[in-house]
A and B are shown apart, each in its own frame.
Chain A
Amino acid sequence: EAGVTQFPSHSVIEKGQTVTLRCDPISGHDNLYWYRRVMGKEIKFLLHFVKESKQDESGMPNNRFLAERTGGTYSTLKVQPAELEDSGVYFCASRSTGEPFYEQYFGPGTRLTVT
């Protein structure tokens, strides 16, 4: 079974540009989560999808971030326009509703560098 995949693995963009990160959850997982780790700091929750609906978006930092999950499969996280403080590693995780609710499976992350 394929794990959670994220694309790209690394992205370098200039301040003011737009970047879109993609997450493909484990097949059949209806819960999808986005987290972010700014260098040297803790990993912070961004939002939680159940299928295509946003269940909890309390961690989204501002309106420059837009997360979508059309069709309830893969998800994208767009940052527009990117700022220097957006640099960090963006993690995606997924979980099946039928599995123990504490088990979130993580992807390898996308490292975003804004220069």
Chain B
Amino acid sequence: AQTVTQSQPEMSVQEAETVTLSCTYDTSESDYYLFWYKQPPSRQMILVIRQEAYKQQNATENRFSVNFQKAAKSFSLKISDSQLGDAAMYFCAYRSALVTNFGNEKLTFGTGTRLTIIP
């Protein structure tokens, strides 16, 4: 079974600075997807960024980028130029790329990192 570990329950960063959230995972599969989700207070969880395991290039979405180290099974999220609206709970998640007739679309999440932005 796959597991996802987020070792930082809480992080804080000064506005306009850069912060990196850590995530490690364990799997025996070679093909999979990794995600970072953001859940602002009392709001829907939204997808921030995704990475396909077969791609060597790290994914980037505006101020959000990842450092994907497949051999080390590490998937960190870097937020540049932090803004007040980035304050949220961030969840790292894993999904197998193997989809069978019986499903296997489930996401496996970590415990989350609460990010606080200091004005």
Residues of chain A at the chain B interface (Cβ within 8 Å): 3-4, 31, 33, 35, 37, 40-45, 48, 55-56, 58-59, 91, 101-109
Closest chain-B Cβ to A71's Cβ sits at a distance in Å of: 21
Partner of A40 from the list B45, B93, B102, B111 (CB cut-off 8 Å) is: B111
The answer to whether B50 and A108 have CB atoms under 8 Å apart is no
The answer to whether A101 and B44 have CB atoms under 8 Å apart is no
Closest chain-B Cβ to A66's Cβ sits at a distance in Å of: 18
Residues in B46-85 with C-beta less than 8 Å from chain A: 46-47, 50
Q: A42-B4, A102-B33, A102-B95 are in contact. Are A33 and B105 (CB under 8 A)?
A: yes
The answer to whether A102 and B106 have CB atoms under 8 Å apart is no
Closest chain-B Cβ to A25's Cβ sits at a distance in Å of: 13
Which residue from chain A places its CB closest to the CB of B103 in the assembled complex?
Answer: A56
With a CB–CB cut-off of 8 A, which chain A residues contact B20? none
The answer to whether A106 and B46 have CB atoms under 8 Å apart is yes
The answer to whether A108 and B44 have CB atoms under 8 Å apart is yes
- C-alpha gap A40/B111 in the complex (Å): 7
Most A CB contacts (10 A, CB to CB) among B50, B106, B111 go to: B106
With a CB–CB cut-off of 8 A, which chain B residues contact A59? 106
A-B contact list, 7 entries, CB within 8 Å = A35-B107, A42-B110, A56-B102, A56-B103, A56-B106, A104-B105, A109-B45
The answer to whether A43 and B91 have CB atoms under 8 Å apart is yes
- C-alpha gap A42/B2 in the complex (Å): 13
Partner of A56 from the list B47, B91, B93, B104 (CB cut-off 8 Å) is: B104
Most B CB contacts (10 A, CB to CB) among A3, A43, A44 go to: A43
With a CB–CB cut-off of 8 A, which chain A residues contact B47? 103-104
- C-alpha gap A108/B47 in the complex (Å): 13
Closest chain-A Cβ to B24's Cβ sits at a distance in Å of: 13
